[in-house]
């Protein structure tokens, strides 16, 4: 959902302890189980946060804050100029708290230009559903490969 401040916000409960969920944002092997084709992560403040979301489409930024197992924040942007969102321009904050034997995840993606908010909201909806499946031990289904420009009726 997009809140009144123009931030993309998602909340869900996962059937894992906080540290395990935290690791899905800081360990390259775990990250690509739910989002991305390959990843290069350096989970320290100022460290690299980079992964290939679609073939040739790289999301890039850096870790801003890591408070295991409660919080991870990183900047976010795209290497492809089509997005008009350079690496590091927006901010993703993930807060994790214990909830009924699992973990309540609250993801807030801010500093997105208006025209990219809905697209990123759709993306987080799809990929967080994959995270739910992976943490539940079920098959997340085929990886959603496609050109976002085509999905939005825009051309590069």
Distance of alpha carbon 53 from alpha carbon 132, whole angstroms: 18
| pLDDT for position 146 | 65
3-state secondary structure of 69: coil
Region 128-154: mean pLDDT is 77
Region 21-31: mean pLDDT is 98
| Nearest of 96, 75, 87, 102 to residue 17 by alpha carbon | 102
* Statement: 8-138 belongs to CATH 3.30.530.20: yes
Does residue 151 register a pLDDT over 80? Answer: no
Q: pTM here?
A: 0.91
Lookup: tokens for 85: 């969102």
Whether the upstream peptide bond of residue 69 has omega within 30° of 0, thus cis, is yes
CB distance 85 to 113 below 8 Å: yes
């Amino acid at each position: 959902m997009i809140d009144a401040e123009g931030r993309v916000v998602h909340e869900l409960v996962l059937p894992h302890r906080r540290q395990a969920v935290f690791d899905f944002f800081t360990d390259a092997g775990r990250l690509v189980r739910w989002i991305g084709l390959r990843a290069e992560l350096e989970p320290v403040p100022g460290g690299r946060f980079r992964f290939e979301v679609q073939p040739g489409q790289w999301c890039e930024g850096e870790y801003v804050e890591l408070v295991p197992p409660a919080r991870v924040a990183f900047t976010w942007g795209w290497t492809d100029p089509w997005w008009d969102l350079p690496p590091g321009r927006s901010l993703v904050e993930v807060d994790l708290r214990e909830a009924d034997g699992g973990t309540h995840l609250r993801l807030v993606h801010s500093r997105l230009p208006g025209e990219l908010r809905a697209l990123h909201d759709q993306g987080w909806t799809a990929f967080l559903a994959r995270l739910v499946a992976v943490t539940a031990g079920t098959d997340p289904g085929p990886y959603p490969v496609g050109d976002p420009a085509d999905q939005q009726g825009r051309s590069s």
